[in-house]
A and B are shown apart, each in its own frame.
Chain A
């Protein structure tokens, strides 16, 4: 990040820094955010390469995949397992919560840094270690773990079943380390927002994206305990012969599923909420509108958060739990459609009467809503126990959750990244390239997953390296759909080059053309210079109003920044 001129009034303790203390062992929240952001993006490239390899195998079974080679069944399992693990734990989490949380929280609440900067640095260092362990697990003897990202025992617990003893253990260690990193980060986020807000910033003046990151952090911290315990138990089952999940010695494999999904379902909301917050902020800025019913949105989110702890067993309807339990979890799961529907209605209502400018970030934010709706409505089919008997573990499930996770992790990230890029680097991105990248991502995305819904409805089950052994699924019309989805994937991956090219040329530009507030937005991060210097604000801002005062009657400008006195 380019160092800009420090105003004289900057805090004395934010002085000059050496290369190491500035870029590597930084405690500055913005630098830690960049570290998380670029580590997450690097992991996204790895996860993207994996999906390229196994989609090629599915479309053209048995070919030598260019830049990879032949995909054996063992490698196929490893690729799908690590693709899922990486995209959720090492892309969605670090980018949406850690990177945006670190970058935005101090800037948007108007303080100079996180309240625990050293814990913050430690959090990233553990995260980086976890990423290294995970990538290393791919190259150890036996290969990486191949028991799916859900790691159900006994397959994950015994090397004789999985044939990847070391890979399984490293996978588990990496996931556990990653949890530690985000626990540390979460403590920081919640404490900072609760204690370090600008004077005058009341609870309802906090920008929605910050609220969402805080609620997501609370959900994460409240749900991860059981899974962390489960991970320790599974690690001991793998390595020292305990039998927590081994039915032959009195253990129970279903126990793991409960621990995993007790965390795993709130986890969906942990990554969903920041993306929803990012979209809400962007939509308000470019529609020049107040967020419709801010308080309702906020309380709806609290409600979603609480409900998200009561739905986990809908992942286990047919897993051998008492069938009567499914009825309870169907009720809670269908109930959660209400807050989520309400949040979508709020986005739509926010657009009403606006003055909408379709910039690249706005396109991404709107696409998030439009695409997430598909993920939402297809979820109803899976939450209804009677229908899930058929859909469970088919490509319908896969397409459904990609219609939630792709909008979250990819669309939400691009929305936030293009929106705050001017703040991060002081330079505007190229809008034309941005729009080419947008359409080049969104259209192929739908072309990938709509055929997969159809294949799922036709009974295609998941995590199969080749359907040649299943005569009902090996029909040529289904193979055509697989080829079509893979082709669309290749197109989509190709268009990502436009994004990296755009980033590169925008970053290389000489002139700092962003200014402080290029989008004429209200929140406090736009008060700081672009990029904000170490210490953020020349003098800490005071907050006078809510974050979405657009089109305030009686004011000439159509926006009213939070820091301006009335």
Chain B
């Protein structure tokens, strides 16, 4: 269902969408069947003159199987959902594929700070690029993120990735994603974090390798330093 409204732009986004479709395919027929029988009974067994109600306690096996068999079927459906849910969950949250780069994401009242590793692809070096409410990633590359919070709980949510993870002060939570298409989309804070919660919007820019390289080149503090120092060297 999310895919009707939002693009699926991470490797696991369509898995999550498919899981949602699987659950829908299993529960919606149950729902429709239940409501149909329910309303049919209401109309079929309306009060009529001279028709006496049937005396059914439901305690004998012959009657009880009408609820026992359906509920065993519900159990079977649950098993399918369970397997799907755990598979997807394992892929999104439990395993951590080898990253191309690691970024740091810091939530605070009420902004997101993104520390990109810069030209050397290594975090916590002098060429890191820090931005506020703007997150630049390259399509088709596996990223790890280190999620932190400076004050209260926040939740890093990228709907097009189907990704959501709470940020907790005092902890660094590692997660991953790999974008599969380019574009510019919302990043939300999905956990109430005070009066500015509604202002805590950021944007993710998923870029092609060329555009991403160009952005790094433009923003890299090294480049700026180099540009600033070149005339001095020439002197």
Contact = CB atoms under 8 A, between A and B. Distances in A.
Contacts of A296: 58, 64, 67
A398 interface: no
B93 A470 contact: no
Contact of B42 (A331, A342, A356): A356
Contacts of A457: 1-2, 4-5
A148 B167 CA distance: 17
A471 interface: yes
B168 A381 contact: no
Interface in B47-64: 47-48, 51-59, 63-64
Interface in A263-294: 287-294
A381 B23 contact: yes
B58 A386 contact: no
Nearest to B155: A393
Given A77-B192, A390-B164, A459-B5, A348 B23 contact: no
Given A386-B84, A393-B155, A294 B57 contact: yes
A358 B67 contact: no
A396 to B, nearest CB: 9
A346 B195 contact: no
Contacts of B31: 373-374, 377
B151 interface: yes
Interface string A42-73: 00000000000000000000000000000011
A472 B185 contact: yes
A41 interface: no
B51 A355 contact: yes
Interface string B1-45: 110111000000001100110011011101100110111011001
B56 A292 contact: yes
Contacts of A558: 52-53
B6 A247 contact: no
A396 B70 CA distance: 27
Interface stretch (B115-123, B197-205, B209-217): B197-205
B218 interface: no
Contacts of B167: 320
Interface stretch (B97-105, B169-177, B223-231): B169-177
Interface in A344-402: 344-358, 366, 369-370, 373-374, 377, 380-381, 384-387, 389-390, 392-394
Given A154-B153, A247-B171, A469 B199 contact: yes
A369 B35 CA distance: 9
A385 B192 contact: no
B132 interface: no
Nearest to A347: B38
Interface string A454-487: 1001110111111001111100000000000000
B187 to A, nearest CB: 9
A248 B170 contact: yes
A294 B77 CA distance: 26
Contacts, number: 297
Interface stretch (A32-40, A321-329, A423-431): A321-329
A294 B58 contact: yes
A553 B53 CA distance: 10
A290 B55 contact: yes
Contact of A147 (B46, B84, B89, B192): B192
A463 B153 CA distance: 14
A469 B198 contact: yes
B197 A77 contact: yes
A323 B89 contact: yes
Contacts of A469: 198-199, 201
Given A386-B88, A558-B52, A352 B45 contact: yes
Of the listed residues B16, B64, B159, the one surrounded by the most CB atoms of chain A closer than 10 A to its CB is B159
Interface string B135-153: 0000000000000000111
Contacts of B42: 351, 356, 358, 366
B194 A341 contact: no
Contacts of A307: none
A152 interface: yes
- Interface magnitude class on chain B: 35 or more
Contacts of A334: 78, 81-82, 85
Given A155-B152, A387-B19, A390-B162, A471 B186 contact: yes
Nearest to B109: A161
A377 B59 contact: no
A203 interface: no
Nearest to B200: A469
Given A337-B74, A552-B55, A385 B89 contact: yes
A331 B5 contact: no
Contacts of A357: 46-47
Contacts of B35: 370, 373
Given A162-B194, A461-B190, A470-B186, A381 B20 contact: yes
Contact of A393 (B57, B163, B164): B164
A247 B171 CA distance: 8
Contacts of B75: 338
Contact of A342 (B16, B51, B67): B67
A287 to B, nearest CB: 7
B94 interface: yes
A452 to B, nearest CB: 13
A254 B171 CA distance: 11
A247 B55 contact: no
Contacts of A337: 74, 78
Contact of A386 (B86, B153, B189): B86
A153 B70 CA distance: 43
B134 interface: no
Given A472-B159, A552-B55, A253 B169 contact: yes
B220 interface: no
A163 B52 CA distance: 65
B35 to A, nearest CB: 6
Given A323-B89, A470-B186, A551-B53, A254 B168 contact: yes
A337 B72 CA distance: 11
A229 interface: no
A146 interface: yes
A161 B89 contact: no
B53 A288 contact: yes
B191 A351 contact: no
Nearest to A155: B152
Contact of B48 (A323, A355, A465): A355
Contact of A327 (B78, B89, B173): B89
26 contacts: A152-B191, A162-B194, A287-B45, A292-B63, A294-B57, A318-B166, A330-B89, A334-B82, A335-B78, A341-B71, A342-B71, A348-B37, A349-B58, A349-B63, A351-B38, A352-B41, A352-B56, A355-B53, A356-B42, A387-B19, A389-B16, A389-B162, A392-B190, A458-B5, A459-B188, A463-B197
Return the 7 tightest CB-CB contacts between A and B, nearest first. Answer: A247-B170, A386-B88, A353-B54, A459-B159, A292-B58, A384-B85, A293-B58
